[in-house]
Amino acid sequence: MLPQEIIRTKRDGGVLSEAQIQQFVRGLVDHSWSEGQVAALGMAVFLRGMGRAEIVALTRAMMHSGRVLQWPDMPGPVLDKHSSGGVGDKVSLMLAPMVAACGGYVPMIAGRGLGHTGGTVDKLEAIAGYQTAPEASRFDALVRQLGCAIIGQTADLAPADKRFYATRDVAACVESVPLITASILSKKLAAGLQGLAMDVKVGNGAFASTPEFARELAHSIVDVAAGAGLPTRALITDMNQVLGDTVGNALELQEALDYLSGKRREARLHEVTMALAAEMLLLGGLAADKAQAHARLQQALDSGAAAEKFAQMVSALGGPADLFDRPEAYLPAAPVVRAIAAPRSGFVSAVRTRDIGVLIVQMGGGRRLPTDQLDLAVGLTQVLPLGSAVRQGEPLALLHARTPAQADEAQASFLAAYELGDAPPAAAPVVLEIL
């Protein structure tokens, strides 16, 4: 089959056969398809869509384009969680050790920041010595031994997806529900999972800006995962404000440490973390119902078991054994810390959350180019949530910057993203729907 004939089939609205899809994926890996041909098929799918059988076939083919992890004789269920991306989303850092403390096994292969959204791997690299790319055998052993390990994406898992995504990114066809679905699930299936909790963010800080798009994506992921043999639950969660009260790599890592140790747990962050972790326990048969799942997870937090799992993981992957005791010795800190004063009295009535994420990128906490080195120390803490009452001159957030000039610029951007009104906005739930 010629690549151009496969492209023509989809361009004209036809249904691709499994054989055609497999040839395309082989072409991604062995480069028998040119960049132009890959981009052309991506755009044809973007415009024409795919049926469920096509998406399942594409997902499976990309899953089998590289190594597929196996977990024989694992004493408990192999589970994971994935987020579509948000601002201040550090849920994975707490969720993996919480589920591990409840008897699950979490081989979490996480990503780096994408666009205005932060990445779990970047946050972990704020810990001095932490290795995000261990040998495969070491990763396997740690998951079995500790119950969880969080590392970066590896070149041998779903390599076809890596090339396809890079081409889609520059060809303006990323926002395709079939292709997003296949991209996410091919990597999760390659990780050998038995259950997946999917967090689909929706709002002005998410890639899915409308409820309709978020619901379409959530249904697609759940349905295709079922067709590919991976039980999955999807939660649609709010991203119209920062999740938690920190943004920035080291600062979010510190918030995760405070959460696990019980020093502070911001309410919205706690609700999302518990909801996703509870679905994982239910998928793995580790709880009979949501009430029992929540009770087990809360016990893992209150007893210190989840914090201990995280500490063991950090130490085993090259980080310090006393991170919880002396985080300031190992996490980078910005030299300039400044309160951003409210320009008037009122209530926080709206936040342009994407602009907050872009602000962090502009400060160096995110990437403009794939090769950029991050400033892991910069960001925001004590960010006020929607509905907060504030008097003129009181802080809306604390800004952590590299220089006074950078702080001046970032402060102006932050104030432009925050809207103060005379009345608080209507309260909105953080977990909007579960599929």
Q: What is the CATH number of the domain that holds 222?
A: 3.40.1030.10
pLDDT tens-digit map of 388-425 = 999 999 999 999 999 999 999 999 999 999 999 999 99
What confidence score (pLDDT) does residue 119 get?
Answer: 87
Identify whether 25 is part of a domain: yes
269 and 243 Cβ atoms separated by less than 8 Å: yes
CB atoms within 10 A of CB 408: 14
Please tell me the least confidently modeled range out of 25-34, 311-320, 362-371, 419-428: 362-371
Helix (H, G, I), strand (E, B) or coil at 322: coil
Lookup result for tokens 């995110």: 366
Catalytic pick from 188, 201, 233, 309?
188
pTM of the model: 0.93
Predicted confidence (pLDDT) at residue 371 exceeds the cutoff of 80: no
362 and 413 Cβ atoms separated by less than 8 Å: yes
Same domain, 305 and 271: yes
Q: Which residues pair with 136 in a beta bridge?
A: none
Query: Alpha-carbon distance 293 to 320, whole Å?
Result: 31
Query: Alpha-carbon distance 336 to 410, whole Å?
Result: 12
Catalytic pick from 120, 132, 220, 246?
120
Identify whether 72 is part of a domain: no
CATH number at residue 23: 1.20.970.10
Identify whether 22 is part of a domain: yes
Question: pLDDT confidence of 112, banded at 50, 70, 90?
Answer: confident
Same domain, 310 and 343: no
Question: 398 is written with which tokens?
Answer: 């604390």
Question: 46 is written with which tokens?
Answer: 């973007």
| 90 annotated active-site | no
Same domain, 386 and 297: no
pLDDT tens-digit map of 207-216 = 899 999 999 9
Question: 427 is written with which tokens?
Answer: 């309260």
Query: Alpha-carbon distance 261 to 13, whole Å?
Result: 54
Same domain, 189 and 271: yes
Catalytic pick from 168, 233, 352, 400?
168
Query: Alpha-carbon distance 61 to 363, whole Å?
Result: 39
Same domain, 254 and 380: no
Count how many residues are written for the chain.
Answer: 435
Predicted confidence (pLDDT) at residue 166 exceeds the cutoff of 90: no
Identify whether 290 is part of a domain: yes
Question: How much of the chain exceeds pLDDT 90, in percent?
Answer: 89
Question: How much of the chain exceeds pLDDT 70, in percent?
Answer: 99
Identify whether 104 is part of a domain: yes
What confidence score (pLDDT) does residue 162 get?
Answer: 87
Q: List C-alpha distances in Å: 235 to 89, 195, 202.
A: 14, 14, 10
Identify whether 327 is part of a domain: no
Same domain, 305 and 260: yes
Identify whether 196 is part of a domain: yes
Mean of all residue pLDDT scores within the chain: 95
| 273 annotated active-site | no
Same domain, 346 and 388: yes
What confidence score (pLDDT) does residue 172 get?
Answer: 82
Alpha helices (runs of H) in 125-242, residue ranges in sequence order? 136-146, 159-170, 177-190, 211-227
Same domain, 227 and 88: yes
Same domain, 96 and 13: no
Q: What's the domain count of the chain?
A: 3
Catalytic pick from 123, 163, 187, 265?
187
Question: pLDDT confidence of 41, banded at 50, 70, 90?
Answer: very high
Catalytic pick from 9, 59, 65, 83?
83
Identify whether 74 is part of a domain: no
| 403 annotated active-site | no
pLDDT tens-digit map of 251-293 = 999 999 999 999 999 999 999 999 999 999 999 999 999 999 9
What confidence score (pLDDT) does residue 115 get?
Answer: 67
What confidence score (pLDDT) does residue 114 get?
Answer: 66
| 265 annotated active-site | no
Lookup result for tokens 């800190």: 333
| 375 annotated active-site | no
Catalytic pick from 167, 183, 220, 232?
183
Query: Where would I find the beta strands (DSSP E) of 195-326?
Result: 195-202, 232-238
| 84 annotated active-site | no
β-pairing verdict for 418-421 and 346-351 = antiparallel
pLDDT tens-digit map of 289-316 = 999 999 999 999 999 999 999 999 999 9
Catalytic pick from 10, 60, 82, 354?
82
Predicted confidence (pLDDT) at residue 153 exceeds the cutoff of 90: no
Same domain, 117 and 193: yes
pLDDT tens-digit map of 57-108 = 999 999 999 999 999 999 999 999 999 989 999 999 999 999 999 999 999 9
Average pLDDT on 177-184 reads 93
| 65 annotated active-site | no
Q: Which residues pair with 106 in a beta bridge?
A: 148
In which domain, by residue range, is 379 found?
A: 332-421
| 294 annotated active-site | no
CATH number at residue 341: 3.90.1170.30
Domain boundary among 291, 316, 341: 316
pLDDT tens-digit map of 216-254 = 999 999 999 999 999 999 999 999 999 999 999 999 999
Catalytic pick from 9, 65, 80, 246?
80
Same domain, 42 and 129: no
Same domain, 278 and 337: no
| 11 annotated active-site | no
